[in-house]
Amino acid sequence: MEGTFPLPEAQIDRFFMRLSLGYPDVRAETDMVASQRTSHPMEALDPVLEQSAIPPLQQAVREVEVHDDIRIYIVQIVRQTREWPDLALGASPRASLALYRASQAYAAIKGRDYVIPDDVKSLAQPVIQHRLLLSSQGRLNRIDTSSVVRSILEAAEAPVEPLAS
């Protein structure tokens, strides 16, 4: 860690999402080491699509429908982080934008042209968690940002489609 320092909150907020993949199991790691005996997999990679195909895909994600109720749901989740007692710093509007766009992309990957509340719930942790700063009381209470996001999701009322009459 010599010569390194933690990023300031303003810089951490610019990361779209934080994912943790963990470590491979023993068998997978053993296979990985064996497979790289003579070459690295990066040397044999071929593109899966042409660069020109990316802008249309980005545009398709932007066209995924987000109902007003889901848009409000996203904003309410993020705003709750700003009022949560165990947090010194909640998520910024950048988190609302990221959760909105990530939900659109997730819906597109799932083959839908609309976002559902479960898309938002699935992505709230990786999009919001790293943007939060615990208060000193929160740290004393051994709270973590993951449990804060989980509590906010449990408390937030997800929009539902009214029953047809």
Digit-coded pLDDT (tens) for 86-134: 999 999 999 999 999 999 999 999 999 999 999 999 999 999 999 999 9
Write out the two tokens for 63: 């066209």
pLDDT bin (cut points 50, 70, 90) of residue 9 is confident
pLDDT tens-digit profile of 40-89?
888 888 999 999 999 999 999 999 999 999 999 999 999 999 999 999 99
SS3 content of the chain, % helix, strand, coil (to 5): 55, 5, 40
- pTM of the predicted structure, to 2 decimals: 0.85
Q: Which DSSP string corresponds to 39-64? A: --GGGG---SS-GGGHHHHHHHHHTS
Write out the two tokens for 93: 């509007």
CB 108 within 8 A of CB 114: no
Residues 6+ apart with CB under 8 A from 146: 125, 129
User: What is the arithmetic mean of pLDDT over 137-150?
Assistant: 93
pLDDT bin (cut points 50, 70, 90) of residue 8 is confident
Q: Which domains, from first to last, does the chain contain?
A: 53-156 (1.10.8.80)
Do you know the residue count of the chain?
165
* Main-chain phi, psi angles of 110, to 5 degrees: -80, 0
Residues 6+ apart with CB under 8 A from 51: none
Write out the two tokens for 41: 């997999």
Write out the two tokens for 59: 């545009």
